[in-house]
A and B are shown apart, each in its own frame.
Chain A
Amino acid sequence: MTDIRIGIWRDQPDLGFLNEVLAIPGGEAAAACIQCGTCSGACPTVRDMDSSPREIVAFVRAGYRDRVLNSNTIWMCASCYACYAQCPKEIKITDFMYKLKQIAMREGYKNPGARRARVLARKFADTVRKFGRNSETRLLLKYFFATGIFSALKYTGMALSLLVTGRLDVFPKKIKGSGEVRAILKRIDEGAAMRR
């Protein structure tokens, strides 16, 4: 159960956080949220979240940085866009979740439910930086080496099935323009470093 009063007592509103989150394309719509809860009703994983999507919107608007970034909610979002599509105020809740994941990852928030999602996102980004494309096999191998190889054992049957049907991309293809992709990513990193 969530006790909103505890949140008010513990969290100091953080305007920098609020402004960064609301700066996403169309983010200002969050001001119009009427707290109807349609997003939470539409969400297929709300029962696995410690705060519902409706609460997250409320906490973001209140500027409760730690409360939002420590919640497992942002990592339980599968990006199905059901909340966003059904919101009567057209608030892009899925995009807020993306933004919150990015901030939490950048600032090293350690939510127990978040580690695996964080590793997957990082490994994915590494693969794209190197090859220009994703390789599902390489991504999964890297993921399981980072999160515990034993958890990979239960995927053995699946891996065998993919192997015998020729669906494992063991050797990823590197695109000709992978240098272009790296130049693009490098420029963004430099820009971010300059802003800091």
Chain B
Amino acid sequence: MTTYTYYPGCSLDATGKPYARSIAATAPALGIELDELEDWNCCGATAYTSYDQIKAFSISGRILSLAEKAAGHGGEIVAPCSACFAVLSKSVRYMREDAVLKEQVDDALAAAGLYTECDVKVRHLLDVYVNDVPEEVLTSQIKRDLGMVRLAPYYGCQVVRPKNDFDHYAQPRKFDEYLELLGAQPIYYPVKTKCCAGTFITTQPEVAARMIGLLLKSAKDNDADGIVVCCPLCQFNLDNFQKEAGEYWNEEFHIPILYFPQVVGLALGVAPADLDLNKHRVSAEALLAKII
């Protein structure tokens, strides 16, 4: 067992509950123990950063400060949400690079009696699943053959951008290879790092319908049985906007959108209901019928 300081983020308590449940159902079997950071706050996401830069970095600063206490200096903090991952890793990098910014954040954190060295390493949960679990540990646990299922590996934006050491920013391969290792067929998916429209589903729904439709259409054109994601907002947008996206593109979309731990769970032989696969908007029944 490897223990990680875990930052679930706000979505995993609400729209992302199936993500949380499927993580809980798979991580222990792979030797991953997630120790939730106590009393964490919101990372600020894209919306807070649009509002006030110093405030956004400072509330991230509180998280980093708590993480340093929990994981120790030089330790790691793991986030399952790509937005949390991008915001927290950006905060660490920028505060280390920019002394003026760091001074302003120090001053704000001092008001709450906190301080951060900015020396934790922020990692995405996908990175932990893909890179920290030895291949033989994973393959020895596989109990169900997913060979009939064609899956689109959708990375989205913020797990690979801004540039980081997980994978290439525009042509990543690790998620594809991971699905292959799980026994599924990763499909050719050229839009794998295109944007899911983020918060535009509320602020610019017409634009969002086009952007989401592009992702769905590419999956459909390449005969995907489902799209696999690693971010709760990507899942929400792709799952809930298929009708609007279909109207824009003049197509019918019924593509189930799965979190990657749900696919891991299927391969490990976990029952679909224990992975909350019945809790999405678009039914995954046709996909499940191929393997169960």
Contact = CB atoms under 8 A, between A and B. Distances in A.
Interface stretch (B25-33, B35-43, B125-133, B142-150): B35-43
Interface in A69-95: 75-76, 78-82, 84-86, 92, 94
Q: Which of A135, A154, A179, A184 has the most CB of B within 10 A?
A: A184
Interface string A146-158: 0000000010011
Contacts of B112: 177, 179-181, 183-184
A143 interface: yes
Interface string B217-236: 00000000000000000000
Nearest to A176: B39
Contacts of B54: 188
Nearest to B233: A136
Interface string A123-158: 011001000111111001001000000000010011
Contacts of A79: 46, 49, 157-158, 198
Contacts, number: 193
Interface in A48-85: 48, 75-76, 78-82, 84-85
Given A80-B161, A132-B42, A125 B195 contact: no
Q: Give chain B's interface residue range (CB within 8 Å of chain A).
A: 35 or more
A interface SS class: helix
30 contacts: A26-B98, A44-B211, A45-B207, A76-B207, A80-B161, A82-B170, A82-B193, A85-B170, A117-B199, A117-B204, A120-B47, A122-B51, A124-B51, A135-B14, A136-B10, A136-B14, A158-B240, A167-B17, A167-B279, A173-B13, A175-B40, A175-B41, A177-B41, A177-B62, A177-B112, A184-B61, A184-B112, A186-B111, A187-B110, A191-B107
Interface of B: 10-11, 13-18, 39-42, 44-55, 58-59, 61-62, 86, 94, 97-98, 100-101, 104, 107-114, 157-158, 160-163, 169-170, 193-195, 197-200, 202-205, 207, 211, 240, 243, 278-281
